[in-house]
Amino acid sequence: MHIKPLFTLLFAPMIFCQCSFSQPPQKKSSAHMDNTNNKNKVYSRSDKSKVVLSDEEWKKVLPEDVYYIARQKGTERPWSSKYEKFSDVGTYYCAACGNPLFRSDTKFESGCGWPSFYEPVTKGSIIYAPDNTAGMERTEVMCGRCKSHLGHVFEDGPPPTGLRYCINGVVLDFEKAAAADKKFKEENKNG
Ligand SMILES: [Zn+2]
C-alpha cells in the first residue's frame, strides 16, 4: 500500500534532475519585452477566436493605461509613445489580446505624434466604426479580435493605400522579426 508514494518520493526528484541536466544552459532573454501577464488569460498571438469580456473583467486583467485607451476609448498624449519614432523590423500586436495588427514595413513617419501605419496585417485584423465625437467626423479603428479601441484611420496616408492608421502606442505590443524568423527556421529545419 505504501509502495506507490515511496516510489514517487524516491524517483520523482531523480527524473526532475535528469531533465534539468539534459537541457543546455539557457540564456536569459532580454531582447523581447512581453506585455503578457499571468492575469490576462485571453492574451494569445495564435488564437483567432473572438474575445468578449465585460469592462469589469478587462479592468482586472489590463494595466491601467491600456485599459483607459483600449476599453474607455482614451487617447495617449501625442509624441508620448516609444513606438512613434521606432523603426525596428517586426510585428505589432494588440496589447489587450495579442492579435497581430500591423507590420513594421507598413509603418511611416506621419508627424502626427502617434505611431502611424498605412495597412493592417489582414483585413480582419481591424474593425471600423463611425466616430462623431469631439466635433469631428472620424473613423474609429478597433482590434478585430477583442474590439479594443486602437485609434482612428484617415484618408491622407501614403501609397499604396492612401490611408493613415493613427494608433495609440499604449495598445501596441511589438515583437522583433528576428525572434519570429529564428523560430520559423527552427521549426522548418528538418522538413
Ligand atoms: Zn485585441
Given 94, 97, 143, 166, the catalytic residue: 166
pLDDT reported for residue 21: 41
Neighbours of 35 (CB within 10 A): 18
pLDDT reported for residue 37: 55
Distances (CA, A) of 42 to 97, 111, 131: 6, 34, 27
Neighbours of 188 (CB within 10 A): 8
* Residue 162, Cβ density class (10 Å: 0-12 exposed, 13-18 middle, ≥19 buried): exposed
CA dist 64 and 23 (Å) reads: 38
CA dist 92 and 17 (Å) reads: 39
CA dist 88 and 81 (Å) reads: 14
DSSP 106: G
Considering just the CA atoms, what is the radius of gyration of the chain in Å? Answer: 21
- Residue 17 among the catalytic residues: no
pLDDT reported for residue 14: 44
Distance (Å) from CA 134 to ligand 1 centroid: 24
Distance (Å) from CA 26 to ligand 1 centroid: 31
Distance (Å) from CA 94 to ligand 1 centroid: 5
Distance (Å) from CA 81 to ligand 1 centroid: 18
CA dist 44 and 130 (Å) reads: 28
Q: Which CATH architecture has domain 55-181?
A: Beta Complex (2.170)
Distance (Å) from CA 99 to ligand 1 centroid: 5
67: Cβ–Cβ under 8 A, 6 or more apart, which residues?
58, 59
CA dist 67 and 149 (Å) reads: 10
Q: What is the mean pLDDT of each run of 10 residues along the chain (191 residues)?
A: 48 42 41 57 94 96 97 97 94 98 97 97 97 95 98 98 98 85 67 48
Distance (Å) from CA 30 to ligand 1 centroid: 24
- Locate the domains of the chain by residue range: 55-181
